[in-house]
Structure 1
Amino acid sequence: MKKTLLQACALCVGATTVQAGGIDRSGQGINLIFEEGSVAQFRLGYTNPSVSGTMPGPPLGQPISSGDVAKSFFTPHLGYKTSLTEQLDFAIMYDQPYGADIAYADDYPLSTNPIPGGRTGILKATADTDAITALLRYKFEGGFSAIGGIRAQRVTASVTVPAAAGYQVDTDADIAFGYVVGVAWEKPEIAARVSLTYNSKISHDLSQTESVNPIPVPPIPVGTVATFDSSSEIETPQSVNLDFQTGVAPRTLLFGSVRWVDWTQLVYNPPNYPPTSNLVDYDDDTFTYSLGLGYQFSDEFSGAVTLGYESSIGDPVSNLGPTDGFWSIGVGGTYSFEKAKISGGVRYTDIGDATADGASGVTADFSGNSAWSVGVQLTYALD
């Protein structure tokens, strides 16, 4: 079975979209390590989400729109893979595994500072991660292999919550390390492969600057901003990826994946955040599923379709990620010529309805939301 078919399937599965908590972006896939010989790979995804909701506000409890809170984003991927020996492969990859870019309307209740004379702004958050992963794969007899590697990850974030006395926190960038381990089994005669990989949690010690408006009582003048240098420890979560594929008919491939992410490990609680609750936390982990079918139309061209699903948790979610589950459908194709393979994919995601915590015990309703994603990938053989 031609590699063009496998490539189309991989691209279709990997098209970027909104996922758990709105911040899981790359899926931390390792398919590059299974390429033959030496290759260089570039992939770029683009996602345009539409996420909005309403919260009752004055006067008379009339609904106030959040505006389109989720901003569009790109997800790059760069990789290089080579065979060191007949049994040992090496790959190095760059991706952005997690990210957030949320901004609410300026008249939304949580964008209003209750402190008289306090600074104005909007409820917003940005978070960026960059990761470089180096992997080794050792092949045993019988199609089995062991995978292991190290991941270096850089994290930075900025959050503004005007309703919490004009609170704002900006972190410095922090670099920390984690690891990847896994096993795989292959049977090339039927294009079969199963891989199971574990991504460790990564702990970051964030240096940060917090600021807030204190209540203006003498001798504190109106508009005073109190600033604090502090630190917080956060953990990006551990996760497990199960990927599988097999030929089911001539020129036809069945493939899929299951991804588990332990979101309960991700807690962000800056020491000077005014409310008693954490600034960011999650009550539940998530399972994300995909299943697809690919077909090789010719020696040069293959296509694939994939379905994705993540179940709804049902609990109130953070305003900094107001989504709860999704289903998706994507199509992709690959054209192969000489030493290059060019793949493209598009995906539609129906984002699950969510309830977010609001002001003074009032909740916000986010429903009818969706996202479109597109991706392009170039894989070039170097030998």
Structure 2
Amino acid sequence: MGVLKSATRGVALGCFALAGSGAAFAGAWDTLGIGSLDLLYAPEDFVVESSVTYVNRNVDYDVTEASHSGGTGVTTGPVSSRATPNIWNYQGAIKFGMMDNADCLARINNPFSIEEEMDHDWRGRFSGYETQAKTFAIDATCSYKFQVGEGRYLRAIAGARAMDMTYYSQAAHPAGVPAVVDLKSDGLEYGWRVGVAYEVPAYAMRASLIYDSEINADLEGHTEVTGLAKFDSFSSLTLPQAVELNVQSGVAPGWLVSAGVKWVDWSVIDVLSVTNAAGNETVHRKLNFKDGWTVKAGVGHALNEQVSVGSSLQWDRGVGGSYSDTYTVGFGSSYAANKNVKFTLGTAAIYKTSGSGNANNLASHTVNEYEYDGSWAFAVNTKIRVSF
């Protein structure tokens, strides 16, 4: 039993999360994927962890219908354009033990992100050729562990999140100049987290259930039609609630299996609306998202005291529009340089299914309907972990 406990623990804290690095940018805007709170359960009293993920994306949009205000059809410019620039995702976290039974995790990350950039002269340009929606978040999560039997424990989990959000978009104006919307949240927006976990450390067994609340964001800034007009603009957005269930267990000395499912209430976002100071809409896009589901399973193995390897499979149900279903296979390895320092490297291949969507703006009566074929994306994740 002692061998199973010690060897399997190395896998859980090493390659296992890494093998799922392809989860970045699954689940619509979600960059965290499944298992992002695993560091909270680390056995050490103090852990610092930093990770960076690079994603190479390859999605081309093909315009099927385009017009600008007044219903004038657009017939110039390329029909097809690469829509997905390559992206970086980051996370930094500190876990510390407050006392024997209490642990806390603090981190910074960018939990939600959209980055799209098409050719500036593509046929759908009057509805938009660049969109960036980015977040910066600080969150803190703590747990208190109760013994509920010999070698069995129950954790009560609670936390808070503070988030800043920006939104930027560019489109072509019929006058031949760019039209820019640039918004930022009016101060930090807040949410909360609660959960519970059941653990049997001797078998590296854990089951956890975590709930994250909605976060309501109010944004303000300006809209500018270059050289023609500039005015104050406002928008409000509800970032969705989520529920995540994770289960893991050792199955043999040095072997760990895991499964997780995450539900995100993306259907709460049905319309993107931007108004001017008079309350009149300048942007009205029907998003009509449906709820997101992510399912993931994986296996990890400790080859020796220093090296662990792992792999995972993941399916993510698309929420609609530019977010179609994705299927991900991930592989990773970790190397413990000594008892305090561990390096991890992971890679993933992500297949995105074909789909269709639109960027129609009902306020300006511009139309951009598009479709896209299936495509592959590739992710690389690096992580360093220092513990005391």
**TM-score calculated relative to the size of structure 2:** 0.84
Structure 1 residues 209 and 62, CA gap change in structure 2 (3 angstroms): closer
Task: Tell me if the contact between 1:164 and 1:274 (Cα under 8 Å) persists in the aligned partners.
Answer: no
How many residue pairs match? The answer is 357
What are the residue-to-residue correspondences of 1:1-383 with 2, within 5 Å? 1=5, 2=7, 3-6=9-12, 7-21=14-28, 23-27=29-33, 29-36=36-43, 37-56=45-64, 64-112=78-126, 123-142=129-148, 143-162=153-172, 167-173=179-185, 174-212=187-225, 225-266=228-269, 267-272=271-276, 278-279=284-285, 281-312=287-318, 317=321, 322-336=322-336, 337-357=338-358, 363-382=369-388
Question: CA 1:224–1:82 in structure 2 vs 1: closer, same or farther (change >3 Å)?
Answer: closer
Counterpart CA distance in 2 for 1:377 and 1:198 is 26
Contact 1:16 1:375 in 2 (8 A): no
Structure with the higher strand share, 1 or 2: 2
After superposition, the Cα gap between the structure-2 partners of 1:157 and 1:292, relative to the gap in structure 1 and judged at 3 Å, is same
- Give the conservation status (yes or no) of the 8 Å contact 1:16–1:374: no
Counterparts in 2 of 1:245 and 1:111: CA distance versus 1, 3 Å: same
Say if 2:22 and 2:328, in contact at 8 Å, map to a contact too: no
RMSD: 2.7
Opposite residue 350 of structure 1, the aligned amino acid is Y
Structure 2: gaps spanning 5 or more residues? 67-72, 361-365
Q: Could you tell me how far 1:123 is from its partner in structure 2?
A: 1.2
Contact 2:77 2:121 in 1 (8 A): no
Q: CA deviation at 1:264?
A: 2.0
Q: Which secondary structure state, in structure 1, belongs to the residue aligned with residue 119 of structure 2?
A: coil
Identify if the C-alpha distance between structure 1 residues 277 and 302 changes in structure 2 by more than 3 Å, giving closer, same or farther: same
8 Å CA contact 2:64, 2:371 repeated in 1: no
Gaps of 5+ in 1: 114-121, 213-222
Q: Bigger shift: 61-70 or 44-53?
A: 61-70
Would the aligned equivalents of 1:24 and 1:99 in 2 still touch at CA under 8 Å?
A: yes
Equivalent position of 1:220 in the other structure: none
Instruction: Specify the code of the residue in structure 1 equivalent to 2:26.
Output: Q
SS of residue paired to 1:32:
helix
Per-residue CA shift, 1:240-291, capped at 9, x if unaligned?
1111111122321111211111112234310259989733634301101111
Letter in 2 for 1:262: D
Find the aligned partners of 1:18 and 1:164 in 2 and give their Cα distance. Answer: 34
Structure 1 residue 10: deviation in Å? 1.3
Is residue 160–residue 193 contact of structure 2 (8 Å, CA) maintained in 1?
yes
Deviation at 1:57, TM superposition (A): 6.4
Instruction: Report the TM-score, using the length of structure 1 for normalisation.
Output: 0.85
In 1, Cα distance between the equivalents of 2:173 and 2:25? Answer: 26
CA distance in 1, matches of 2:374, 2:246: 30
Question: Which deviates more, 27-36 or 299-308?
Answer: 27-36
- Contact between 1:55 and 1:63, CA under 8 Å: does it hold in 2? no
How far apart are residue 112 of structure 1 and its match?
A: 4.2
Distance 2:159 2:31 in 1: 20
Describe the SS at the equivalent of 2:275: coil
- Quick one: percent identity of the two aligned structures? 24
277 and 171 in structure 1: CA distance in 2 versus 1, 3 angstrom threshold:
closer
